[in-house]
Homo-oligomer: A and B are copies of this chain.
């Protein structure tokens, strides 16, 4: 596929600087782009590379600068890049049909593509143009909306619903039992049947190895447009609002409610039964131990240090209370002295 700058601008807007008939075959980084590559400047840190880039053209915010052979000026170069990249890299059309080794006990739309050794349980429904890659296991009664794609080796338990245009990566698990047990007097655990479902909206992306438990009573709900990176754990009855995005290795305990348009940094843990408001940004590595009723940015991770400095400083953590006591004692003794003098 090859595009001209003026074709791109006709579709996505922006202003061309230089030759409108510049041919574009690929997207590249400022540093590594060559002829035929369209690069972009989104992070000011890379601005010096404008002088040396060999890209055919650069997507950037105005004003135009010397350097690139040509440019598209737009107020949001990263978003513009995303759109052009999608146009240049269209998803391959699924090859409709069911591989002869797949075991199909449910219904598959005629335009869907089912890979080898897939299992589809009774009553399950696969929508139009859905792609299910090899070795996926899809339980009874699961429904998958039009144009969704499952990479290889995904497991979806019985009864879960997946919306349209979703993308689910390998080794993801949807609908496993939540972690619910009552304790007997001797410490043994009695399992609480997990009879809810997982409901996944439209345009959701779920990363490799991410696990989403079904509800205990009621459902676990992932809103439209939610983006979950790899190895995220979502407990039973969690609700995640629309367009919230979470980086890798996040854990969300049962019944937590996360609002819409939140961003959650990698490795953050949200404890159970908490409520997080809309538009909350959580820094990486934060342990969220109470509800957050207001939008804003929150952090909880601690700085790392060279090991010797760490030993000196962090060992003090065990004595913070004693330090506070000493300060209070000093204040009292000093006040007494001040009175005297």
Bound together, the chains give a CA A310 to CA B230 distance in angstroms of 27
B-contact 0/1 string along A66-107, CB 8 Å cutoff: 000000000010110111011011000000000101010000
Interface centre among A99, A153, A208, A296 (most CB of B within 10 A): A208
- Cβ of A51 under 8 Å from chain B: no
State in angstroms the CA–CA spacing of A182 and B83 once bound together.
Answer: 9
Minimum CB distance partner of A340 in chain B: B341
Q: Which of A32, A247, A267 has the most CB of B within 10 A?
A: A267
Q: From residue 310 to 341 of chain A, which have CB atoms closer than 8 A to chain B?
A: 310-321, 323-324, 326-327, 330-331, 333-334, 337-338, 340-341
Do residues B296 and A184 form an inter-chain contact, with CB atoms below 8 A? no
- Complex Cα distance, B234 from A229, in Å, reads 11
Question: A176 CA to B153 CA in the complex, in Å?
Answer: 12
Cβ of A162 under 8 Å from chain B: no
Given known A-B contacts A135-B119, A171-B171, A89 and B230 have beta carbons under 8 A apart: no
Query: What is the distance, in angstroms, from A253's C-beta to the closest C-beta of chain B?
Result: 6
What's the interface size class on A, roughly? 35 or more
Q: Within residues 260 to 313 of chain A, which ones have a CB less than 8 A from any CB in chain B?
A: 260-261, 266-267, 269, 271, 279, 281-289, 296-307, 309-313
Partner of A302, one of B187, B208, B317: B317
A153 and B137 contacting across the interface, CB-CB below 8 Å: yes
Instruction: Pick the residue among B115, B271, B326 that contacts A119 (CB under 8 A).
Output: B115
Number of this chain's copies in the assembly equals: 3
- Of B85, B208, B271, B320, which one neighbours A192 at CB under 8 angstroms? B85
Would you give the 0/1 interface string for A134-150, flagging 1 where the beta carbon is closer than 8 Å to chain B?
Answer: 11110100000000000
Is the beta-carbon distance between A82 and B302 smaller than 8 angstroms?
no
| Distance, CA A251 to CA B338, complexed state (A) | 55
Residues in B neighbouring A309, C-beta threshold 8 A: 318, 321
- Cβ proximity bits A173-203 to B, threshold 8 Å, 1 near / 0 not: 1001101011110111111110100000001
A173 to B210, CA, bound (A): 11
Contact of A211 among B28, B207, B340 (CB under 8 A): B207
Asked if A151 CB lies within 8 Å of chain B CBs, one says yes
Which one of B230, B269, B313 lies within 8 Å of A319 (CB-CB)?
B313
Note all chain B residues with C-beta closer than 8 A to A330.
327, 330-331, 334
